[in-house]
Structure 1
Amino acid sequence: MPDRVYPPVIAACKLMFRVLDLRIAREGTEHVPTTGGAVLAANHVSYLDFIFAGFGALPARRLVRFMAKHEVFEHRVSGPLMRGMHHIPVDRQAGQASYQQALSALRAGEVVGIFPEATISRSFTVKEVKSGAVRLAAEAGVPLLPTALWGTQRLWTKGRPKSLTQRHVPVTIVVGEPIEPTTDDALRKRMQELLDEAQQRYPESGEGQWWQPAHLGGTAPTPEEAARLDARR
């Protein structure tokens, strides 16, 4: 499929990275296959995660087709961009159609990006994951790539104002080795392990900071508190 929209969007994102002087560290990008289908399953801490998860696949010269809620495709600004980049709309009332579209993309040799938690984690830990990523990888017979993103929440996350003028923020992108698409629990465990490693190696201390999880000394909600906040909404 022709990609006339995706390359200019990537160029605009790279310009944003330079203007903000983001300190981006990419690890494990060699695990993204240079050809053929793959499912890239990333944790979700920011509204900008699709940009950075996609950036993790660029060294392999792959363009990731992300699954995203259909409301984003209906917006007058983001809609044309999402459709032009051939992302996949997800209508939670008609999920099978989205699943089949993603499956077709994988069988056609595309990399499909999924945030298995479905929504942003307020606790900055990995929530329970939905079954789509594991099912798709198993049915399509493609690699399942657990991925961790860290630092992106400092730019724009749920319940906090946007900080898109903040400069020099470190951002970590870790693509793990492919795992067998067996169970959702196995995927969640591996994603949390990668996230733990990214948090431990992060170049700035977040103790006492809102963007650090509670178990590492930050003031983010605990997973239990985050679940209660999500339930109220």
Structure 2
Amino acid sequence: MHDLTYRLVVRLARVLFRVLGLRLDVRHAERVPSTGPVVLAADHQSFLDFLVVGLPSVQRGRLTRFMAKESVFRVPVVGAAMRRMGHVPVDRRSGAAAAVRAYRALLRGEVVGVYPEATIGHAFAVKDRADLRLGAAHLAIATGAPIVPVAHWGLHRVLTVGPHGSLRRGRWVGVVAGEPLVPRPGEDAAALTDRLHAALTDLVEELLDRYPDTPSEPTQEWWWPAHRGGAAPGADEARLLDLRAIAVADGLDADNVVAQAKSFTSHVTGE
């Protein structure tokens, strides 16, 4: 593994943090095991969040091999760097190859980073349990590796989906690692993902509770979650926006995908 490239990127990231004046608050890095395989499962709110959710591992002297969408690996220079750092390309239409690579990395004792939400969420809160993928749990069960949930909040104010973001200096970004989730005897991927969802949700709520720049008028702020009175999309609206973003990325008819989702929801709920 070409860790020299990875460590250079870590240094460049720290320079970027200083340029942006980020007020980083990283807590409980000690919950990341110092040795052995680890599945690091994080929430997904920003194009830049891999730069911060890996910080607890870095503080433990470890580097995280992230599972990232395959299109990133086709970008000149960036793709080559991603490969040299040992990150894992994921083709959403066929994830078997990525799963095998992640499995082998865990068997080598690596930290593998997974985004159970799959895509950046528009609600700036953890997605509903039904929207979480089971990949992190499957990897943990197959290898015996613990899942360490890592939540972050605040970086979406710098860069995220939609016409939002700002390079204004001084944003607060909180990162917190949760207690490791060890697969229980006989536990299946769905049950382990239930526990992971609960852990990530609690961690994000913890970050929101101690967010130092709470808006005085939440209803006017696009970046503050709807369930806390903010102007961010609520869960149902955010789910449709997420589906549209995925359809566009996959080259599908986004309007048709969203229309089908709305029709299905109406059929199920009777509305």
Given the two structures, how large is their TM-score scaled by the length of structure 1? Answer: 0.96
Q: Which runs of 5+ in 2 are unaligned?
A: 184-190, 245-253, 255-271
Give, as a single letter, the amino acid of the residue that structure 2 aligns with 1:186.
R
Deviation at 1:3, TM superposition (A): 1.3
SS, match of residue 33 in structure 1: coil
SS, match of residue 4 in structure 2: coil
Deviation at 1:51, TM superposition (A): 0.7
1:124 aligns with 124
1:192 aligns with 201
Query: Are 2:227 and 1:210 aligned?
Result: no
Alpha carbons 2:156, 2:165 under 8 Å: kept: no
Distance 1:220 1:135 in 2: 32
Distance 1:231 1:98 in 2: 22
1:91 aligns with 91
Give, as a single letter, the amino acid of the residue that structure 2 aligns with 1:107.
L
CA distances 1:101-153 after superposition (whole Å, capped 9, x unpaired): 00100110100001100001101121121000011011111111011110011
1:101 aligns with 101
Distance 1:21 1:231 in 2: 33
Distance 1:97 1:65 in 2: 15
SS, match of residue 5 in structure 1: helix
Distance 1:67 1:139 in 2: 17
Query: Are 2:27 and 1:27 aligned?
Result: yes
1:177 aligns with 179
Distance 2:179 2:95 in 1: 28
Distance 2:139 2:170 in 1: 37
Q: Which runs of 5+ in 1 are unaligned?
A: none
Greater helix percent: which structure? 2
Q: Runs of at least 4 residues of structure 1 off by over 6 A?
A: none
Distance 2:212 2:165 in 1: 22
Give, as a single letter, the amino acid of the residue that structure 2 aligns with 1:180.
V
Identity, % of aligned positions: 45
Distance 1:167 1:103 in 2: 39
Query: Are 2:53 and 1:41 aligned?
Result: no
Residue from 216, 220, 231 that aligns with 2:232: 220
Given the two structures, how large is their TM-score scaled by the length of structure 2? Answer: 0.83
Deviation at 1:162, TM superposition (A): 4.3
Distance 1:196 1:84 in 2: 35
Larger mean Cα displacement after TM superposition, 176-185 or 109-118: 176-185
Q: Number of matched residues?
A: 232
SS, match of residue 166 in structure 1: coil
1:147 aligns with 150
Deviation at 1:21, TM superposition (A): 1.5
Query: Are 2:14 and 1:2 aligned?
Result: no
Structure showing greater Rg: 2
Relative distance call for 1:139 and 1:95 in structure 2 (3 A) is: same
Alpha carbons 2:145, 2:182 under 8 Å: kept: no
Output aligned runs, 1:60-71, within 5 Å: 60-71=60-71
